[in-house]
Amino acid sequence: MKRLSLESKVLNENQRVADSLRQRFRENGVLCLNLISSPGSGKTALLEQTLAHLDPTTRVAVLTGDIQTDNDARRLARFGFPVKQITTGGTCHLDGRMIERHLEDWSLADLDLLFIENVGNLVCPSSYDLGEASKIVLLSVTEGEDKPLKYPSIFFKSDLFILMKVDLLPYVPFSAELVEENARRVHPGMEVVRASAVAPGGLDQWLVWLRSRIAAAKGSQAFAAAGR
Ligand SMILES: Nc1nc2c(ncn2[C@@H]2O[C@H](COP(=O)(O)OP(=O)(O)OP(=O)(O)O)[C@@H](O)[C@H]2O)c(=O)[nH]1
Ligand SMILES: [Mg+2]
């Protein structure tokens, strides 16, 4: 009972911070996307290739979370955009306060797009709103088609499912159709894109989705500004 009330206090406090972050992102026209997957599904690889392929006029930044090391920040910093590592020291997810703290010396008005790479985990990050416009869940073809059924919360809460490492499909016993069907059992109508960080054109479907979301975020900011 005590544990439950402490948990709900922590989550309520996180929600308050996340609501304030969401408002700041909206006011500044920043599209914030929270990438979630188990360790090694390809979050950083997807981001590396995204940074390499995005229109260079897109003002993008990345916060990347891990329990230890700044490896991912170093991989991502090579592309010349602002990147910060959030090292949680043991916590299995990012929370709103960590995002708030790491944004302190960045001007949101100078950004169009903020990627958050969450700590590799399919469970804990699903409970923590970070003020993002959308959660995005990644699962790679080596992880099993049953994962949406075993970890339904993150599939239910995500706006997009990226099926990663599809270049490996010829070599592993994995049905892309079945995993998509399982995802839609948990989240009817869920959008799915298939992606590979290593195959030519492997990001095409993802980049179409991303560009349309960036354009929609800009459009709604212009609409809000016109109404002020
Ligand atoms: N074949 C193939 N390998 C990939 C792909 N994407 C990532 N990898 C490999 O998968 C491994 C893990 O990729 P990461 O990008 O580090 O995965 P991550 O989700 O960021 O991992 P954590 O941050 O530790 O949770 C690396 O060896 C990548 O090179 C892909 O599309 N195809
Ligand atoms: Mg990573």
Q: What is the pLDDT of residues 113-166, one digit of tens each?
A: 999 999 999 999 999 999 999 999 999 999 999 999 999 999 999 999 999 999
- Does the pLDDT at position 63 exceed 70? yes
Taking CA atoms only, the protein residue closest to ligand 1 atom 29 is 45
Checking DSSP bridges between strand 31-36 and strand 134-140, what pairing results, if any?
A: parallel
Ligand 1 atom closest to the CA of 195, numbered from 1? 31
pLDDT at 81: 96
Ligand 1 atom closest to the CA of 197, numbered from 1? 31
Q: Looking at the CA of 83, which ligand is closest?
A: 2
Q: What is the pLDDT of residues 83-114, one digit of tens each?
A: 999 999 999 999 999 999 999 999 999 999 99
pLDDT at 139: 98
- Residue 76: what are its φ and ψ, rounded to 5°? -80, -30
139 touches ligand 1 (CB under 6 Å): no
Average pLDDT of 49-73? 96
- Does the pLDDT at position 225 exceed 90? no
pLDDT band at 20 (very low <50, low <70, confident <90, very high): very high
pLDDT at 228: 60
Which pTM was predicted?
Answer: 0.95
Q: Between 220 and 184, whose confidence is greater? A: 184
Q: What is the pLDDT of residues 165-201, one digit of tens each?
A: 999 999 999 999 999 999 999 999 999 999 999 999 9
For residue 209, how far is its CA from the centre of ligand 1 (angstroms)? 21
pLDDT band at 220 (very low <50, low <70, confident <90, very high): confident
Residues linked to residue 35 through DSSP beta bridges, in sequence order: 117, 136
Best probe residue, ligand 1, of 35, 43, 70, 147 (max atoms within 8 Å of C-beta): 43
The full set of domains in the chain, from first to last, is 13-215 (3.40.50.300)
143 touches ligand 1 (CB under 6 Å): no
pLDDT at 7: 85
